[in-house]
Structure 1
Amino acid sequence: MLPQHECFPCLTPPVDESPGTHPLKLLEFPPIYYELYILTRIFTPEYYIKSSYRPKEYLRNKADIYSDVKDYPRFWRPGNKPFNPLKLAEKTEKIVCRREENKVSRKYTHFYVAGVYRGIVTACGVGCCLRCFYCWVPLSRDYPEHYGKYYTASQVVQNIVKLARKYRVKKARISCCEPTISREHLLQVLDLIEEAKEIKLFILETNGMIFGVNKSFVKEVLDYSKVYVRVSIKAGEPEDLTWRTGADGDFYELPFKAVEYFNEEAEPLKRFHVAAMTDSRIMSSREREKIIRRLWEINPILAITLEEEIVDPYDTTLIRLEKAGVKIFK
C-alpha cells in the first residue's frame, strides 16, 4: 500500500484497494508529492513571511484604472465577449516583456517568501492569458501596463537567490502570472536556476494553455532537472471555461492536452501533477467528475492525486467576484 507520511498520516493519498482495481497501491510516491499534497491543504490561504505586508496592488480603490491600452480584457463581467487566450497571451507579452539585445526582460512587482510548499521564494510576475473570477493575484493581472518593473532573467534569479539565502529556503517559483507567456524569458530564468546551488526545486505553476499547443515547449521545460510542473485545470466543459475565466470555450481542451504531453514525456508526481478549482460553490459535481474521468483516461495516478482547490476570500478575489456578479461569500 502507499506509504504514510510520517508527520501527517491522515493525508496519505486515498487509494481503492478492493480486488480488481488498478495496482496503484504498489507505487511509492516520491517525497516531493507528499510535500505538495500536504502543503496545498495546510497553508491555505497563502501567507507572507512578514504577515503585516500587504502589497499596495490589493487596494480596492485601484480596482478600476484608466488605461490607454485598448481592447484589452480586464475584469471578467457578465455580457463580455469571450476572448482567445492565445491571442491574449501574445498581446500581454507585448506589454510585460521587452528585448534588450539577446535578453528578454519581464515585468515583476515584487519578490517574497511564501509559506506554501514549506517555504518558497516567489517572484511575483505580471500578466496572464485568463481572467478567472476567483483569482487571488494582484491587480497587475488586469492592468499589466500600470504595474511592475522590468527584470532580466539574471536580475530575477539574483533576487530569488538573495531571499533563499536570507530565509534558508531551497525552493522557488514564478507566481501571480502565467510564466509561459514569455517562453524565452522563462527558459533564460530556468538556465540560471539550474546553475544556482541555493535552489534545489523550481515549481512551475501554469494554466496549461500555451503548453497545450506547444509540445516542444513541454520538452524544453522538462530538460531542466530542477523543474516540477503544476498544471491547473480551470473547467471540464466549454461553457464553464467561459463563465469562470472569460476565455472562449473552444480552448477548454488545451490544459488537458498539456497534461497529455507532460504524461508522455515525464512520470507523474516526480515531475508534474494536476490541480483544479473544484470548489462546489462554483463547480458542479458532474463537472468535477468529468475532469476526474478525463484525467483517469490520461493516467489514473493523475486522477487519484488531483489537487483540489477552493476559493479563498482575498481582497482581489472579492473584487473580481463582485465584477463577475458571483456571490459565494456573505
Structure 2
Amino acid sequence: MARVEYDGIGKRYGSVEVMSDIDLVVEDRSFVVLLGPSGCGKTTLLRMTAGLETITDGEIRIGGNRVNEVHPRDRDIAMVFQNYALYPTMKVYDNIAFSLQVNRTPKAEIDEKVKWAADLLGLSEFLDRYPKALSGGQRQRVAMGRALVRDPAVFLFDEPLSNLDAKLRGQMRYEIRRIHDRLDTTTVYVTHDQIEAMTMADHIVVMHGGVIEQRGTPPEVYDRPASLFVADFIGSPPMNFLSGRVAMADGQAAIELGGVQFTLPADAAVEEGMEVTCGIRPGDVAVAPGAPHGAEMVLSENTGPETLLHLHLGGEDLRAVVSGRPVIEKGETVRFGVDPAKIHVFDAVTGKRL
C-alpha cells in the first residue's frame, strides 16, 4: 500500500482562494477521515488526490512519488463516490469487472477477482442482477467492489453513505471498516457526518474554511477539541457553551453564570478579567439530588436508554444527558454539578483552546 503526503497544498479558482497551506500525512495502511461542513475543502482535497482537480500550490506524494501532474488512471488509486455511478444496462458482474475489462485483463483473472470481491461484500447472489433490482446499500457495495478489484494503493471515499437511510449507514460503516482492516489498505474518507468519523477513523482531520482546524485520534478530538469550531462540530448532542469573565479567588480561576460559579480546570491558561467561552458536554452535566447547582427544567427528550434535559440557567440554555427516563416536570428545579476537569475553556475572541 502507500503513504499519502500533502505538502503546502493550496487551491485557487481565479482570485478566490479556497484552500491554503495544507500539510498532512496519511500513514500507510491507516484510515483517515477528512471531516467538516459543506464548503470546507475536504472534497476538493480528495479530488486533488485523485487527480480530478488541479493543484494550485504545493505537492501531493503517493508512495513517495510526486503525482501533481500524473493522470488519474496512473496514480494507483480507486475512488468511491457519493452517487453510485453504476452502469444501469450492465449486470452487477460487469459493473464490478468494468475497469478490468477496459484494461484487457485475462478473463480468468477477471472472474477470480470479481467473485472474490462479491464474496467479500456479500454480493455473490446478485451478480446476475441489474442495479435497478438492488437496494441502495447493495448498489454502494457494487461501487466498492468495482474499486476493490483494481487492487489500488489508496482507496478514496467521497461521502459514500450520504444517500442511505440511517440503518443502512450504520451497516455500511461496519462493512467499509471491516474491509479496510481485512485488506490492510490506506484509506482517505470524506464526510460531514461526525458519527461516521468517530466510529470509523484511525485519525480525524477536521477542516474549516479551507484549513485544518485539528487532527488526532477520535478520542483526542472529542476529549480535547482545539477550537470552538471543533468543539461545536464534534459530539451529539452538541456541547453547551457558556460565556463569561474570569475571576480569581484563592488562586483558582472561575466564571459566574446565572448565579452559579463554575470552577475552571487547573491547567487552563487564563488570567483575571479574560473573556472566555466554556464548553461542557451534556453527558458531563451530572444531574443528582443534592448536587450544588440548580437550573429550571424546560423540556425533556426521551431517546430510549437516555433522556436529554433542556435546562435554563439564568440567561443561558444548558443541556444534560441522564440515564433512563426520569419524570421531571417543566418548571422544576434540577440539581446538577460539573467536574472542573470536564470543562473546556476557549478564548472568546480567537476561539482557540486555552
- TM-score for the superposition, normalised by structure 1: 0.27
Structure with the bigger RCO (C-alpha within 8 Å, sep 6+) is 1
Structure number with the higher helix fraction is 1
Instruction: Flag the structure with larger Rg.
Output: 2
- TM-score for the superposition, normalised by structure 2: 0.26
Structure number with the higher strand fraction is 2
